[in-house]
Amino acid sequence: MSAPPLSEGPSAPTFNIDFDNVPGYEGTVAGGGGGFLPPPMPSFPNPPPPQPEPSQAQWNIPSISEDTAREALALYASSKCCYSSAPAKDGVITNMEAFNTYRYRLETFTESRSTEWSQKPYHGEPVDAFTQPIPGPWDIIAQAPTLFKDSKQVIKVPYTSSMKNCHYCMGMGRVACKQCAGAGNKVCWVCHGSGNNHGDERNCHHCNGRGRENCTPCHGQGSTECSTCHGRRQLLVNINLTVKWTNNSSDYIVEQSSGLLLENLNQVTGKELFKDAQYLVYPVMGFPDLNVVSAAERLIREHQTTYSATSRILQQRQTIELIPITKVTYKWKGKSHIYFVYGNEFKVNADNYPATCCCTIM
């Protein structure tokens, strides 16, 4: 059996059907996506801007008690394998100061679509290319996901499936073996091609004096099954539409002078003061902290400009939380120390906890 010539084949398949003239699928390639698929214009007008809301008299929450602060520190110490509970039990709280701060969060839930060629070995499946008009990429119905949750769905585009010869093996089902370059045999590894045992003239026991041995990967045939079509010689190809739903979120936290790093607040929640969800939100009005108002205007403008250019905005949501932060000063063994209790979870930050030890795990 003569082996086919050793060939890597084209890097991407060449299709017999020309989809370049189909609106919405221009430039679709194998494995690389079809590039940017611009979203359609909204089918409904923007909602009217809201009227200013009256300012609320109370935008604060009560400070935590000493007992709560002490219990939070005790739980923190017990969660550390090398921390003593003595400071939490015996320390004397001398001062508690509230540094409550606001967190504004804007979420923009978007949908984007892209296309790419898909291929698999052909097993006699029916093909439907151009039997009916191909729907546009934004006309195909996708299953609606839960709002503000990332999700992805891959949909076979109707009327794009066709059959073609495998581009890798040129429709032969087999390719030249890379181990023996299609010869079916290679130099004997025992006698290195001499045909004799080392040091005498007897025939090599491994290759029986031939100097060559059959190639194991191809069983001496010189070719192996094509890894692309799995020996079927033909491929079933079609366009796949990938629909991605993404929740794009941005936070703004008002700076506070407690000394607690803002990054710590990413792990906690606060008291929700305001929540608004609609197709396109408008900046909050009537809120007492002008930093929050300014951040809302900036983030809403950035989100609507950025994401409407590359995807379809399905919904926006904005929230304002009041995050409790308490700076606790206490004395233990005659020295003053501080720690922070923050968030609805009463999480503790005590970087300079005074009773730690070095543990060695044997």
Q: How far is CA 268 from the centre of its chain?
A: 22
Rounded distance between C-alpha atoms, residue 130 and residue 157, angstroms: 11
Retrieve residue 103's tokens: 């967190």
pLDDT band, very low/low/confident/very high, at 205 (cuts 50, 70, 90):
confident
pLDDT digits (tens, 9 = 90+) for 234-273: 999 999 999 999 999 999 999 888 889 999 999 999 999 9
* Identity of the residue numbered 229: C
pLDDT band, very low/low/confident/very high, at 327 (cuts 50, 70, 90):
very high
Query: Residue 86: enclosing H or E segment and its boundaries?
Result: helix 86-90
pLDDT band, very low/low/confident/very high, at 35 (cuts 50, 70, 90):
low
To 5 degrees, how large is the angle CA 256–CA 261–CA 262?
70
Question: What is the pTM assigned to this prediction?
Answer: 0.77
Burial class for 180, CB neighbours closer than 10 Å (0-12, 13-18, 19+): buried
Q: Would you state the pLDDT for residue 255?
A: 85
Nearest to 40 by CA among 136, 133, 107: 136
To 5 degrees, how large is the angle CA 343–CA 288–CA 258?
40
Averaged pLDDT for residues 139-148: 93
Averaged pLDDT for residues 183-208: 82
pLDDT digits (tens, 9 = 90+) for 148-164: 999 999 999 999 999 99
Averaged pLDDT for residues 162-181: 92
